[in-house]
Structure 1
Amino acid sequence: MSAYLTGLGLGASLIIPIGAQNAYVLTSGLRRSYPFWVATLCALCDIVLIAVGVMGMGVLIAANPLLLQVACWGGALFLAWYGWLSLRSAMQPHHLREGSIQAGSMGAVLAGALAVTLLNPHVYLDTVVLLGSIGGQYAGDERLHFTLGAMCASLLWFYALGMGAAKLAPWLDRPLVWKLVDGGVWLLMWFMAAKLVIKGLGLLSL
């Protein structure tokens, strides 16, 4: 039980801070654009990555400077691009009424969820590297319990975020609110991109 709670708490502490993936789940819920399936897909991706990390990939990536460089610079470019899309959206008039709620087909929405998950190095750093490195230190049943705890944190968070946002959508049907959401995502993405650039520059100096 101790290993499970450790995995649950650590997984929650890494997943809950809002980032590109969480921002996508949140906006899909606000738009009522297949939030259940978006949350399910993001949670499943996390589950697979956590399992891969605990099985040994986390230690490998953490010890490889080249892979860390690729993660930092590729992530900075991705987050800068995602932030630009949010900034452009914030400058356009829109709201959550029928006709603007569904942002594309289910396939397009899920493809976006895959992109914001698998092309975002923060996801790999959190799941494969950090959770994998710590979980890999456990042995036997304790490693399994730690892994299950971290996986449960992802499941609980993504469903709460996606489905909770969907229930709030009727109260958030205001253009100003949506502009603030997009603007906040834009600032967050560019702030995170800047942090990755600083980290990448630090790795270059090593």
Structure 2
Amino acid sequence: MSNSHGVLLAFGLILPLGGQNVFLFNRGIIQKRWISTLPAVITAGMADTVMISIAVSGISVLVWSIPWIQVVLYGVGSCFLLYIGYSVWKAAPNNTRTGEERFPPRKQIAFAASVSLLNPHAILDIIGVIGTSSLAYTGTEKWTFTIACILVSWLWFIGLAAAGRLVGRLDTQGKMIVVLNRVSAVLIWIMAILILVRFIKAL
């Protein structure tokens, strides 16, 4: 029961389009090979693993109750998302080599970490929903619940990058990818503005 609950809960939180999902999908589009997206995929997976583990342990609730932490997360998170939106908008999806040069492994890791760890909405979801839901379980059931949530995150990120790579192969002229990049950038900017509003209210 705990594993099915964890799977359904994790899917419900991860499926909505967010900065993390948009970034990983775009990495699949731009990179020449799917394996080249692994730095971003592994970073996002590790970030979710850490956040879910902390949320389930109960430590995150105590940390998140400190007001200045929320202010810092909202401020830094909005700035990062604005920059990521700009990078996605300016990406050259019809030129794979250029795209790979813009996002070498080190930059993929930095961006994936920022959209994962500096996204207040994601943190609130993991702490408020997964962390709270885990309180219903103890012992082995709690471990099963946690592992199910983590496994869903990893599988989703791998599939997202693979789907992006498929779109990149099908759209040889890059027209569809240009539109997707523009839409993705706008969505990221909208999220950045919403977080910025929260930052202003938290001051």
Q: Which of the five TM-score ranges fits, normalised by the shorter chain?
A: 0.7 to 0.9
CA 1:97–1:58 in 2, change beyond 3 Å: closer, same or farther? same
* Contact 1:38 1:113 (C-alpha < 8 Å) held by counterparts: yes
Q: Structure 1 residues 173-182 or 24-33, which shifts more?
A: 173-182
Q: Which residue of 1 aligns with 2:152?
A: 153
The one-letter code of the counterpart of 1:46 is D
Contact 2:81 2:115 survives alignment (8 Å): no
Sequence identity, in percent? 25
Aligned equivalents of 1:69, 1:36: Cα separation in 2: 32
Alpha-carbon distance in 2 for matches of 1:13, 1:40: 21
The answer on whether the counterparts of 2:31 and 2:96 sit within 8 Å (CA) in structure 1 is no
Further displaced range: 123-132 or 27-36: 123-132
Q: How far apart are the structure 2 equivalents of 1:40 and 1:109?
A: 10
Aligned Cα root-mean-square deviation (Å): 2.4
Matches within 5 A, 1:81-120: 81-87=83-89, 89=90, 94-103=92-101, 104-120=103-119
- Matched-pair contact (CA < 8 Å) for 1:76–1:194: yes
Cα 1:141–1:186 shift into 2, 3 Å: same
TM-score, normalization: structure 1?
0.82
Where does residue 79 of structure 1 map in the other structure? 81
1:48-93: CA deviations, max 9, x gaps?
2211111112321343333222222322222222223333x16xxx
More moved, 35-44 vs 195-204: 195-204
What is the CA distance between 1:101 and its match in structure 2? 4.9
CA contact 2:81–2:188 (8 Å) conserved in 1:
yes
Q: 1:138 to 1:190 in 2, by over 3 A?
A: same
> 2:138 matched to which residue of 1?
139
2:67 corresponds to 1:65: yes
Structure 1 pair 179–77 and aligned structure 2 pair: CA distance change class (3 A):
same
Cα distance, 1:202 vs structure 2: 4.3
Aligned residues: 199
Q: Take 2:147 and 2:195, find their aligned partners in 1: how far apart are those partners?
A: 29
- CA 109–63 in structure 1, closer or farther in 2 if over 3 Å, else same: closer
Equivalent positions of 1:1-206 (< 5 A) are 2-32=1-31, 34-87=36-89, 89=90, 94-103=92-101, 104-204=103-203
Q: Structure 2: give runs of 5+ residues left out of the alignment.
A: none
| Runs of 4 or more consecutive aligned structure 1 residues displaced over 6 Å after TM superposition | none
Q: Deviations over 1:92-133 (max 9, x none)?
A: xx3435533524433333333233323333343333443223
Letter in 2 for 1:116: V
- Counterpart amino acid of 2:71? Q
CA distance in 2, matches of 1:4, 1:45: 21
Superposed displacement of residue 158, structure 1: 0.4
Distance 1:168 1:178 in 2: 8
Q: Which has the higher helix share?
A: 2
Contact 2:80–2:114 (Cα < 8 Å) also in 1 = no
